[in-house]
Structure 1
């Protein structure tokens, strides 16, 4: 034991430093017992409310929820994949560490493993890990509540480490680690991030193949690929439950094939291009990589009291707080609708990255450069349509993802890798004149560019948004036709933006100069490389920490009691909650955007809600029946029992009961067949849902399998309810068509009549329907998706194999070290 501690003392000290740094960053809120306010996490709490309530009552979480958009699978909201070993590892991390300490530690330790794999000494590897972990968007994602996204990014570095180990001949250890960390990555459940990592890995493999062919070493290369392929398959098997359900469900979401040809003009799949490109980086926004406020920082952050706009407005008797809020709202001037902050990789990291381009000879440089260029170019989206459209239209899966700026997660990984490979080269290269020549060149390039951004920023940046003239027009109206004042405020905004940029550019130049000075001392051998590595860690930490604190700061943490008050019911909410009917819906129009807010879903089942993977059929219903005006017939068929509105003057919410709601289920008097989705959508635009049903003609044979007949006295009643198991009692003297006010989704729902499975079909565009035989019957709808339950069994088998693989890797490493110990 003592020998093990002695051998690994450096790693243990680094681990201790990581813990100290992480807890120090969150020291005040942790000590005060505060919780990070994360908007998306709170949205998720509302989405998950019914799932968690059922889980608390029954011990089992349902795989379906009716809490929003009429009803949807819970796979992308909350689902327990208990047979997956990585689920339990994540649970342990979440339990052991307060949020978001666990995520930061994963950033640090994952990157540390990668830098150690790249043969950097542990102090340099630790500094590199800090550079990656404290990249601004790693913290911005946490602040926004994108927990899954942050977790997925945290596993980028260790996956790359496992791949490099395998490619360098450590087949068993590298393959096992790749399988483990890739399994963790997939379980993080952010396909977009995993997809971007895959793009980078493809480039790496292609470069490795080229060099293998060039060196006539294809045999070991393909052996590595065999191990990596096996690792990938194992990681997929471990996550079979989540992957299968996600894949199956994706075809029916807004990322799947459209149903309405009249709306799309084609039968393509994926997101709408304008929606996907909405968050596209401006081309010159790359300056934020090393000058964080080059584009004004975060949207909505209050401006300082020194702002020219604030001074102008306060002179006009505007409240100072309102003036600061107004100025801050318009400080970001890029093409995106808004931003939570810049993609800042660090001033010193930027300098080292440029140095890496000059001095690193390792072929990994070309992978890093290629990956950076691709991620940056793709982040431009609509601002570089040639490349973006090429990927969007032809590259598999690319059109499933929105916010194309997110491709920069690859650049945020590659920048510190190349930068610290460069730093390592400075430390070990004995040709000091050559090294110093390149260090000076890197300093001239980065320092000179930064100096230009201080002296003449207008050479590169306009500091005016594309909506500048529209803003002036709006200000002119706000100032009651005073165009002079409007122009003064607009010009003040431009000056404020330039001031912010210049201030941060000066800051960047100072850090670059410090890094250059430290390298000069190292090259002159005035200090040890250990001290230099620690000094770089310290400087990078000061640089990145201070920027991260602009976005993920102590003020973002609030008392638990305040979090608990997020969902305090209004008077109208309390009235509706008292209704003990187990299954009805509410249309809450008082929120302003009922299909972009999940608040109401916390209290009751809603027609609206918020989710980026909602069912496409429901989304099409929204666009066609609720966007221009609210279709009362559609509200009725969705059993919308209450409608909430807001007083346009006071904003106070009021509620009225919808007396025409159709109820849980009903027998219709007639059936009208339609030829396709377009005709079906048109048919429900104006119809009597209680009496007639609009059914696609492809279901005609199922509908009329038995002769239909009327019965004015027939009954159908919901007797028991859970989201994934509904029971009805029917009574009729004739075979009839029943419409159930439940969302149709045929991948998992089964209908049983008196315990025997029977066919059902879709009606009224998205509801379930079935032909119910004459007599008294018990009708059940049970959600039991094969994709989940069979997938869980596969996951269990994969988890066992993964544990064995990791154990085998440990055994192989121990066996390899024993001869070395004896030899020593």
Structure 2
């Protein structure tokens, strides 16, 4: 044990430093405060019914009716208890507060990767800090994109495991790859995992090329076998989550369109314009080097002495009015709808990256360069349609994802890897003149570009957004036709944007000079390796820390009680909550009901907020609830209350929908249609209480000879749970019943008096069934095979993973340490 501690003492010390850094940066989190994360608050609203049931019964339901009429809970909140990684995540989150848990995993995972790359511990720590505190990662944490940030946290350790395997450490590398890939998949952000897989494919391709070239294909393919086994094991561990996601994905708005006419939905995948909405501007890549090159983010504060404020106060506005209008105009001028902040990799890191391109001899350089360039080009989206459309149209699954700029998260890891490999090359290098020459070239490129952005930024930057002229027109209208003042304000805004950019250019130049000096001192033997490495660590920390605080500071934390008030019930909500009916829906028109998550906190909403709603429901929204609201559709969805707002004072008011159909009802007639287009057309105007619109493919499930009408028949909901509903029927005839519940045949089973019976779809999205005469207990139970069978596979995979990790840990513990390699002084 003492020998183990002695060998790993430095690593334990650096882990302690990482914890201290997290403690200082996120001190409010350790004091019990929480981030005011918009997406987390919305997530709490969407999860409310699930959590209420879990608190009451001890088990979370796999279905929720809180939004979009009803949908599986897989992509909202599901525990997956047979998955070992679920418990790992729980333990980490129980020990460290949010978002410290994610940040610490990022730091430790990246540190592992840099150690695998054989950097000395202090240099590895510098690289881990540079990656972890890349602004995109911090902005994700502030915005509440918890799953996305958590997925990014496992990028580095997965690559570490792969590299170990490719180097011949088959068991260690394979086991680590399996574990970290399982954690990556459990993060449940398929988009980030997909982007990482693109980078890994490029790495494997380059390794294959060199294996063939060196005639060393046998060890390469041995590595591939171990990596394939590791991948299969990681997939098995996550079988229940992946199976349910795959199954649901085909029915979601990522899947195939049901309609061929009158649809805005693409035939498969996402709409291209929607997917490309957040595309990185080509010029915005200057923010890698100068964070405020494009004006920062939507919340970048406007200085009291800004040109816009001065111009407005000179025109007679009060300081408060001037400050408010200046903040509304915003300093960001890119072509994204809005952005929380830029992708900043660090000025010193960018300089070292350029140096790495010049001096690093490892073939990893070509992988890092290729992935950086590829991800940068793909992030351009609509700004580079040739390449983006190629991937969107032909690469499997690529068209399922939106916000293509997020692929730069991969570049955010590649850039610091090559940067720190450059420092390692300097440490190992013997040709002083060669290194100095390359250093001056890299310094000239990075420093020269920064000087241009400081002295004459107009060479590359216009400081005018795509809506600049529209903004001037709107200002002119606000000012009663005073175009002169409007143009003065616009010119002042340009000056403010330029000033922000130039201040950051000075800042970046300082960090480049310091990084240059550290490398020069290393080459000239003015500093030893340890001192220089610590210098790079401090440089990376100070550089990233000071920029990150613009986007996530102590002010972004609040008391839990205060944040809980952000979803405070209105008077109309309190009134509706007095209704003891367990299952009815609400339409909230006080804002866009189909992007508003907060209604779901208190009610079962026909709207909601989720990126992967059912495709059929999205089609219903587009055709029946967007341009105009179809009352017949509201009625069949059992929309009992409609909330509106007074246009004068915006106060919410409520009306009761007297024609809502209720939980379930018997219909007099069944109208058959040939396809989804006819079905959608038919529900545009029909009597849902008396008529059911049914696709002809379900005709065989209705015995028309027995079907009759009993005007006295009753059908009553007697017990409600999101995943188990019980009805009682009473009729003197066999009749078709429609249930105001969303049709999803990948798990819902219908039981009549305890025996499973078939049901079918009616009215485009509802469930229906032919109910025999007499008194019957009808149950709908959500019991998806994909989840329950998948959990069995997950348990088996988890056991195998635990055995693999235990065996490798034992082997490594018993292994004799390799003799230390002397470092250059």
TM-score calculated relative to the size of structure 2: 0.98
Q: Which residue of 2 aligns with 1:801?
A: 800
Deviation at 1:319, TM superposition (A): 4.4
Q: Distance in 1 between matches of 2:541 and 2:143?
A: 22
Kindly state the Cα deviation for residue 819 of structure 1 after the two structures are TM-superposed: 9.7
| Aligned ranges 1:654-665 → 2 under 5 Å | 654-665=653-664
**Equivalence map 1:1-400=2 (5 Å):** 1-27=1-27, 29-30=28-29, 32-263=31-262, 268-329=267-328, 330-400=330-400
Relative distance call for 1:184 and 1:237 in structure 2 (3 A) is same
Out of 324-333 and 738-747, give the one that drifted further: 324-333
- The answer to whether the Cα contact below 8 Å between 1:300 and 1:325 also exists between their aligned partners in 2 is no
Return the alpha-carbon distance in structure 2 between the equivalents of residues 762 and 492 of structure 1. 60
Residue of structure 1 in register with 2:477 after alignment:
477
Shift of 1:709: 0.4
CA contact (8 A) 1:666 1:739 kept: yes
| Contact 2:265–2:271, Cα closer than 8 Å, also in 1 | no
Q: Which residue of structure 1 aligns with residue 753 of structure 2?
A: 754
Deviates more, 1:759-768 or 1:303-312: 303-312
Give the equivalent residue in structure 1 for 2:461.
Answer: 461
CA distance in 1: counterparts of 2:350 and 2:638, whole angstroms: 58
What is the match of residue 767 of structure 2? 768
Q: 565-574 or 201-210: which moved more?
A: 565-574
CA 1:643–1:485: 2 relative to 1, 3 Å? same
Q: How much has 1:638 moved relative to structure 2?
A: 0.3
Deviation at 1:315, TM superposition (A): 2.9
Aligned match of 1:741: 740
**How far apart are 1:623 and its partner, in Å?**
0.8
Question: What SS does the aligned partner of 2:779 have?
Answer: strand
Distance (whole Å) between structure 2 residues aligned to residue 716 and residue 31 of structure 1: 54
2-structure distance, mates of 1:632, 1:687? 10
Q: Secondary structure of the residue that 2:293 maps to in structure 1?
A: helix
The 1:116–1:325 alpha-carbon spacing in structure 2 relative to 1, beyond 3 Å, is: farther
Matches within 5 A, 1:361-510: 361-510=361-510
Distance 2:819 2:553 in 1: 49
- Paired with 1:706 and 1:79, the residues of 2 have a C-alpha distance of 44
Give the C-alpha shift of residue 686 in structure 1.
1.1
Does the aligned pair in 1 maintain the 2:4–2:813 contact within 8 Å? no
1:32: how far off?
4.2
Query: Residues 597 and 265 (structure 1 numbering): CA distance in 2 closer, same or farther, change over 3 Å?
Result: closer
Q: Which residue of 1 aligns with 2:639?
A: 640
Cα distance, 1:813 vs structure 2: 2.1
Paired with 1:31 and 1:699, the residues of 2 have a C-alpha distance of 58
Shift of 1:817: 2.0
Q: How far did residue 818 of structure 1 move? A: 7.5
Aligned partners of 1:637 and 1:266: how far apart in 2? 23
Q: Distance in 2 between matches of 1:165 and 1:571?
A: 60
3-state DSSP of counterpart to 2:644: strand
Decide whether aligned partners of structure 1 residues 632 and 444 sit closer, same or farther in structure 2, where only a CA change above 3 A counts.
same
Partners of 1:83 and 1:473 in 2: how far apart?
A: 59
Cα deviations by residue, 1:297-322 (Å, 9 ceiling, x for unpaired): 01143311121112222333434344
- Residues 715-753 of structure 1 show CA distances to partners (whole Å, capped at 9, x for unaligned) of 100000000000000011111110000000000000011
Deviations 1:619-658 (A, max 9, x none): 1111111111111111100000000000001000000111
Cα gap change, 1:467/1:351 in structure 2, threshold over 3 Å: closer, same or farther? Answer: same
Is residue 262–residue 623 contact of structure 2 (8 Å, CA) maintained in 1?
A: no
Unaligned runs of 5+ in 1: none
Q: Does 1:600 align with 2:590?
A: no
- After TM superposition, give the deviation of residue 323 of structure 1 in Å: 3.1
Matches within 5 A, 1:623-634: 623-634=622-633
Per-residue deviation at 1:324?
A: 2.9
Deviations 1:536-582 (A, max 9, x none): 11111111000000001111001111112112111110010010100
Work out whether residues 169 and 220 of structure 1, in 8 Å CA contact, stay in contact via their aligned partners in 2: yes
Distance 1:706 1:131, change over 3 A: farther
Contact 1:346 1:540 in 2 (8 A): yes
- Is the partner of 1:295 in helix, strand or coil? coil
Pairing of 1:708-719 with structure 2 (within 5 A): 708-719=707-718
Q: Which residue of 1 aligns with 2:552?
A: 552
Q: Structure 2 CA distance, aligned partners of 1:506 and 1:306?
A: 20
- Judged with a 3 Å threshold, the aligned counterparts in structure 2 of structure 1 residues 661 and 820 are, in CA distance, closer, same or farther, namely same
CA distance in 1, matches of 2:749, 2:361: 61
Partners in 2 of 1:319 and 1:770 — Cα distance?
67
Distance 1:490 1:260 in 2: 46
Aligned pairs, how many?
Answer: 819
CA distance in 1, matches of 2:134, 2:348: 12
Deviations 1:179-225 (A, max 9, x none): 00000000000000000000000000000000000000000000000
Deviation at 1:265, TM superposition (A): 8.8
Instruction: Give the drift of 1:9.
Output: 1.4
Cα deviation code 1:234-292 (max 9, x no counterpart): 00000001000000000111100011111459973100000000000111100000100
Distance 2:265 2:521 in 1: 64
TM-score (normalised: structure 1): 0.98
CA distance in structure 2 between the partners assigned to 1:730 and 1:266 by the alignment: 39
Unaligned runs of 5+ residues in structure 2 are 821-825
Q: For the Cα contact (< 8 Å) 2:263–2:623, is it kept in 1?
A: no
Correspondence for 2:823: none
Alpha-carbon distance in structure 1 between the residues aligned to 2:392 and 2:340: 25
Offset at residue 34 of structure 1 (A): 1.5
- For 1:171 and 1:45, how far apart are their aligned partners in 2? 43
Secondary structure of the corresponding residue to residue 687 of structure 2? coil
Superposition deviation, residue 30 in structure 1: 3.4
Cα pair 2:265 2:619 within 8 Å, conserved: no
For 1:252 and 1:733, the matched residues in 2 are separated by 37
- Residues 264 and 622 in structure 2, CA contact (< 8 A), matched pair in contact too: no
The two structures, once aligned, show a CA RMSD in angstroms of 1.3
Q: Indicate the residue corresponding to 2:776 in structure 1.
A: 777
Secondary structure at 2:653's aligned position in 1? strand
Q: Offset of 1:407 from its aligned partner?
A: 0.7
Structure 2 counterpart SS, 1:340: coil
> 2:30·2:97 contact (CA, 8 Å) conserved in 1?
no
